[in-house]
Amino acid sequence: MPEALGEESRRLTREQLFTMVAAASINFSSMICYSILGPFFPSEVNKQFSQLLFRLFSAC
């Protein structure tokens, strides 16, 4: 269906698309960095905190 006169196109510009792709890749990269720490985190916390504090902290 053709656009009515005076309506602006709803497609993203190249700059907007690049910004969204960059933000998504930065977010994905930061989540990868956090997931690397996952296997080591419980053992480090258990060295310093009681089991109750560990459960409260990991529930957040």
- Would you state the structure tokens that stand for residue 23, as one six-digit string? 């933000």
pLDDT at 39: 73
Contact assessment for residue 9 and residue 3, using Cβ atoms and an 8 Å cutoff: yes
State residue 7 phi and psi, 5-degree precision: -85, 145
pTM of the model: 0.51
pLDDT tens string, the chain, 60 residues long: the values are 555 665 677 898 999 999 999 999 999 999 898 788 777 766 666 666 666 666 666 655
pLDDT at 59: 59
